């Protein structure tokens, strides 16, 4: 089951954190015995790694980030892998799309941002130069020196972070994503579903990912796909399972988990209903032919 990472931090008193209207800042130290997680977030994340290393995997591929690296993660579902070499410590900035949208609308002309080619990435590794590293560490130092940081100062720091990222041409793909937020108020429904259908999120959680209420999500979904979310998700996951059975060596339990099914009995029954054979037999028949 995927962990709602924003809810996890909001409900925990074990981490330094600062909550604003459209942002949350956390210093996170991961226990060394924690290794693999599937997580999801409906709020974009900016992370700077102070120590250790971690893998982040989305549908586009897997990336490893180490000490001194930074990454921007769009809202979505991710697999993570923690290593045992050393404690993983990171600064995490949750920035709502509204915060980023306001920044772009306010400062676009001032910093003369140019449009770039569109991309559909979920994960954006950042080019970390000394100025950006200094900004990250200045926030880290504030958190460790005083109990409360004035809201005005925090927003200045968050704006500085976005400025620094955008002004670096090596971060042009992420800049393009920021620019795209200015043009839309709602996340594209098809993008959300195609990138996250394989996760076992509830309909309420898919609605949050898309920036909609549950009722609006269901209505927009029916208008776009001409079927209910539950039926579409089941078919899409089964199609993905078929591909994995034909092209991977994963066992049935792993395929069930990878495709978003909560248990193998439901997966086996649904697969047989669609493809007339249970998964194991389907794989054997495919190998024979």
Identify whether residues 227 and 163 lie together within a single domain.
no
Question: How far is the C-alpha of 266 from the C-alpha of 254, rounded, in Å?
Answer: 14
Q: Kindly tell me if the per-residue pLDDT of 65 is higher than 90.
A: yes
Using the 3D structure, point to which of 123, 155, 183 is the last residue of a domain. 183
Identify whether residues 135 and 264 lie together within a single domain.
no
Identify whether residues 16 and 125 lie together within a single domain.
yes
Q: Kindly tell me if the per-residue pLDDT of 201 is higher than 70.
A: yes
Those residues whose C-beta lies under 8 Å from the C-beta of residue 159, and which sit 6 or more positions away, are 103, 107
Identify whether residues 97 and 238 lie together within a single domain.
no
Mean pLDDT taken over the chain: 86
Identify whether residues 179 and 193 lie together within a single domain.
no
Q: What is the pLDDT of residue 44?
A: 95
Q: Which of 279, 249, 276, 253 is nearest to 264 (CA)?
A: 253
Identify whether residues 138 and 196 lie together within a single domain.
no
Q: Kindly tell me if the per-residue pLDDT of 35 is higher than 60.
A: no
Identify whether residues 197 and 132 lie together within a single domain.
no
For the ranges 153-162, 188-197, 219-228, the one whose mean pLDDT is highest: 219-228
Q: Kindly tell me if the per-residue pLDDT of 15 is higher than 70.
A: no
Q: What is the pLDDT of residue 154?
A: 76
Q: Kindly tell me if the per-residue pLDDT of 278 is higher than 70.
A: yes
Identify whether residues 216 and 81 lie together within a single domain.
no
Identify whether residues 193 and 261 lie together within a single domain.
yes
Q: What is the pLDDT of residue 282?
A: 93
Q: What is the pLDDT of residue 125?
A: 96
Using the 3D structure, point to which of 142, 163, 183 is the last residue of a domain. 183
Identify whether residues 270 and 156 lie together within a single domain.
no
> Domain limits at 148?
3-183
Q: What's the number of domains the chain is made of?
A: 2
What value does the mean pLDDT take over residues 7-23? 73
What value does the mean pLDDT take over residues 28-52? 82
Q: Kindly tell me if the per-residue pLDDT of 31 is higher than 90.
A: no
What value does the mean pLDDT take over residues 139-146? 70
CATH number reported for the structural domain that contains residue 229 in this entry:
1.10.10.60
Q: What is the pLDDT of residue 230?
A: 95
Identify whether residues 173 and 250 lie together within a single domain.
no
Is residue 142 within 8 A of residue 25, CB to CB? The reply is no
CB-count burial class (<10 Å; 0-12, 13-18, 19+) for 214 = middle
């Amino acid at each position: 089951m995927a962990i709602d990472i924003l809810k996890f931090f909001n409900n925990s008193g074990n981490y330094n954190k600062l909550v604003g209207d459209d942002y949350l800042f956390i210093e996170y130290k991961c226990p060394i015995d924690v290794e693999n997680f599937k997580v999801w977030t409906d709020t974009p994340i900016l992370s700077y790694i102070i120590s250790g290393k971690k893998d982040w995997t989305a549908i586009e591929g897997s990336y490893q980030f180490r000490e001194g690296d930074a990454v921007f993660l769009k809202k979505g579902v991710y697999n993570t892998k923690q290593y045992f070499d050393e404690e993983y410590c990171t600064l995490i900035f949750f920035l709502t799309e509204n915060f980023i949208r306001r920044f772009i609308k306010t400062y676009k002309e001032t910093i003369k941002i140019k449009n770039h080619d569109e991309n559909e990435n979920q994960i954006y590794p950042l080019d970390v130069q000394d100025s950006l590293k200094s900004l990250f560490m200045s926030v880290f130092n504030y958190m460790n020196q005083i109990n409360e940081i004035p809201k005005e100062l925090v927003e200045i720091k968050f704006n500085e972070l976005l400025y620094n990222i955008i002004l670096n041409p090596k971060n042009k793909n992420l800049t393009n994503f920021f620019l795209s937020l200015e043009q839309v108020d709602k996340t594209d429904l098809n993008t959300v579903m195609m990138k996250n259908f394989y996760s076992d999120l509830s309909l309420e959680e898919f609605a949050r990912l898309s920036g909609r209420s549950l009722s609006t999500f269901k209505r927009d979904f029916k208008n776009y796909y001409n079927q209910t979310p539950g039926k579409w998700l089941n078919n899409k996951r089964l199609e993905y399972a078929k591909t994995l059975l034909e092209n991977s060596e994963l066992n049935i339990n792993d395929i069930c988990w990878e495709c978003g099914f909560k248990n193998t009995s439901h997966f086996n029954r649904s697969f047989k209903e669609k493809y007339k054979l249970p998964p194991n037999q389907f794989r054997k028949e495919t190998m024979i032919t």
